[in-house]
Amino acid sequence: MAIPRLSLRRHLPRIPGHALQLRSWQILKPLTRVGLQPTSKALYCRAPTRLLSRLGGVLTGLALPRWLRRPLLALYVWAFSVNMAEAAEEDLSGYRSLGELFRRPLKPWVRPIAPHDMVSPADGYIVHLGRVRRSRLEQVKGVTYSLESFLGPQDWREDGGERGVRADVGGRGLSPWWCRGHQLYQCIIYLAPGDYHHFHSPTDWHIQHRRHFPGSLMSVSPSVVRWIPGLFCHNERVVLSGEWAHGFFSLTAVGATNVGSIRIYCDQDLQTNCARHVQGCYHDLSYLAWAGPAGVPAPKGAGLGEFNLGSTIVLLFQGPRRFGFRTSAGCRVQVGQALGSL
């Protein structure tokens, strides 16, 4: 069955832009009469996104009757321009649920790994990349947040990173084991709902530690990211930290609305989007106890994990000053495409 790769927006009526704007002040006007001054941003931040995401995870995991799979999944493929020609299973009737379609594997030859020092870990849209300055990470241009609030205190090397739950105190700075004379770089990749949802190792490195931050599950689409400062620090995320040839390296999988789970292949103990969690705490787990003193090897291009629906990958790593990115913000990238080199 041929699936037309068309954008849903092209088939919507041409409605004037002002007619589509949400008049939040009209909806919230009754509240102002009792002394409350809410804003649409504040209400959105307080929305039960975790509950909604768990419900979404249940719905996308429901087994579909075989007769309903093709028409229902074809609608999703059409709406989000999914390229089923790349999927290992092109026949939509072979997917038992919408969740299976989200997490579809690809044919192994459609994502060749470029011979560069660093390649893209995921399919998506580059929101930002460049050097980290004054310990501030760039969410989007002009919107920043602190390195400490995103990664938490870098004390896991000092005590071996044993399993535990800790308070996110922040502000403790970075440990002195960072290589002097190197720069800290970042790259943010947004995965849209129609993208391939597995993420891979961007370089040859070793994963030594996992830190899980429970949190909100707000949308991470670029429009919302521009709207809410520090969104990545509020959302649930899994930080994988370790080393590559040039010092510290980390890959963070940031959850989003309707992301029922973040799965790390080498970590079966990880449970995300649980019903009970304490805001402001995080869960540490060292991989050194069972993987050895070097940690879990992650060769370039190897599969690391997957999302349910779309989300964001944040890379933070040290590198020599001669390191240069091979792409720029606003570009689309695919797994294995050149990201940077020395």
pLDDT at 151: 87
pTM exceeding the 0.75 threshold for the entire prediction: yes
Measured in degrees and rounded to the nearest 5, phi and psi for residue 302 equal -70, 145
**Cα–Cα distance measured from residue 65 to residue 192, given in angstroms and rounded to the nearest whole number:** 27
Which comes out higher in pLDDT, residue 270 or 228? 270
Residue 18 pLDDT class (50, 70, 90 cuts): very low
pLDDT at 242: 94
Q: How confident is the model over 307-332, as a mean pLDDT?
A: 89
Which comes out higher in pLDDT, residue 9 or 289? 289
**Cα–Cα distance measured from residue 258 to residue 59, given in angstroms and rounded to the nearest whole number:** 10
Instruction: Write the DSSP symbol of residue 214.
Output: -
pLDDT at 235: 79
For the ranges 30-39, 128-137, 171-180, 219-228, the maximum mean pLDDT occurs at 128-137
Catalytic annotation present for 24: no
Helix (H) or strand (E) segment spanning residue 68: helix 66-79
Contact present, 258 and 212 (Cβ < 8 Å): no
pLDDT score of 231 more than 90: no
For the ranges 31-45, 163-177, 299-313, the maximum mean pLDDT occurs at 299-313
Query: Per the residue annotation, which of 128, 197, 198, 200 is the catalytic one?
Result: 200
Q: How confident is the model over 22-36, as a mean pLDDT?
A: 38
Query: Per the residue annotation, which of 117, 123, 195, 284 is the catalytic one?
Result: 123
* Out of 110-114, 163-167, 321-325, 326-330, least confident range: 163-167
**Cα–Cα distance measured from residue 33 to residue 124, given in angstroms and rounded to the nearest whole number:** 45
pLDDT at 62: 83
Residue 45 pLDDT class (50, 70, 90 cuts): low
Q: How confident is the model over 323-336, as a mean pLDDT?
A: 93
pLDDT at 252: 94
* Chain position carrying tokens 């060749």: 112
Give the C-alpha distances (Å, rounded to integers) separating 19 from 16, 43, 44, 227, 301: 5, 22, 21, 21, 46
Question: Average pLDDT, whole number, for the chain?
Answer: 77
**Cα–Cα distance measured from residue 38 to residue 25, given in angstroms and rounded to the nearest whole number:** 9
Q: What is the β-pairing status of strands 262-264 and 324-325?
A: unpaired
pLDDT at 177: 47
pLDDT tens for 140-179 read: 555 676 788 888 887 766 555 455 545 443 334 444 445 6
pLDDT at 36: 40
pLDDT at 99: 86
Catalytic annotation present for 311: yes
Catalytic annotation present for 267: no
pLDDT at 30: 43
pLDDT tens for 72-123 read: 999 999 999 999 999 999 999 999 998 899 889 999 899 999 999 999 999 9
pLDDT score of 13 more than 70: no
* Chain position carrying tokens 């649409």: 40
